Chain A
Amino acid sequence: MRLYVYCLAEGVDRLHEAVRGVSDAEVRIVEMEEDLSALVSVYRSDDFQVSRKNALAHHEVVRSITEQTTPLPTRFGTVVTIEQLRNYVSTHHQAIKAKLAHVRGGVEMNVRMIHSIAAADISQQPENAGGPGTAFLLEKRREILRDEAGAAQKGQLSAWLREKLGDLIKEEKISITPSETVILARADHLISRADVQEYRTKMAKAVEERPEIRFMVSGPWPPYSFANIELEFSSQFGVS
């Protein structure tokens, strides 16, 4: 029997009665170690679809627990056996506890930005007589320069957001996708629940200051973007 997992959480006493899970399944609490639990439902492969309804159900289950605690939402489609789940939790127990402490009382806000760029900053090499091998290397060179420009932009964006939002930001993740015509940027912010209104107000002001950029601010969300536990490389090998 396999379980569909919605989130890991601490301090969960009860479930919200009205909420159903994916494929309209009943949601249950599975107790793990210490105070940790997982919200799950029984997974039936013949009944499961990657559907809008199921994705929204996943989100609603995660949201339903936020009254009591701040969970670590899992990615949609996380299906495990109970042994795999227990094994995972026990192997990563420290990291899970640390993550839960980190997101406690927190929510996620997202800022998306679209910025049109006039012309390519990177000067195009004239097409010379070289063959396909040379063209290949020239293209790679363009890619490398684009990546470096992207990294610089990330730094600038981060600095600007830090200036506008200050201490509100508990953790930030930025991704930038440049293309020929636009730069797409997304900043994910972990902030305190109490700071949502202030975040919106400050972002509204920041938006006004940059009329050349199109903004979209969304939230609050449960901390999807801050839930993932990276490999425990450091604890295994003592690398810090």
Chain B
Amino acid sequence: MSDFDQIIVGEEWENTDLSLLETLDHVLNRGLVIAGEITIAVADIDLIFVGLNVMVSSVETANEVLRRRQATE
């Protein structure tokens, strides 16, 4: 089990945990997203340009953790 799971279900809540949660919010939910691209073209003319989120496979672990937790709640 990763550390991430542990702090969320932690028991004690002092002010330092608030600052930890704020840091996590900034780092996990904001920031520059480096995107891959799809360009959709018709007759060699670029029409639609879409950015995709490039993400790391083990961030999927976070989703699994959340899903597991949600399943047991």
Contact = CB atoms under 8 A, between A and B. Distances in A.
A10 to B, nearest CB: 14
B51 to A, nearest CB: 5
A84 B36 contact: yes
A28 B69 CA distance: 36
A227 B20 contact: no
A228 B3 contact: no
A206 B53 CA distance: 38
Interface residues of A, number: 43
Contacts of A58: 27
B39 to A, nearest CB: 9
A83 B41 CA distance: 23
B47 to A, nearest CB: 9
Interface string A51-81: 1110110110000000000001111111110
B4 A72 contact: no
Given A50-B61, A72-B32, A232-B49, A55 B27 contact: yes
A65 to B, nearest CB: 14
Q: State the main secondary structure of chain A at its contact with B.
A: mixed
A43 interface: yes
A103 to B, nearest CB: 11
A84 B20 contact: no
Contacts of A52: 3-4, 6-7, 20, 24
Contacts of B61: 49-50
A229 B4 contact: no
17 contacts: A45-B58, A50-B4, A50-B61, A50-B62, A55-B23, A59-B26, A75-B28, A75-B30, A76-B28, A77-B58, A80-B34, A84-B34, A110-B22, A216-B18, A224-B30, A231-B51, A233-B49
Which 8 A-B pairs rank lowest in CB-CB distance, beginning with the nearest? A75-B31, A79-B56, A51-B3, A224-B30, A227-B32, A77-B59, A50-B62, A76-B27
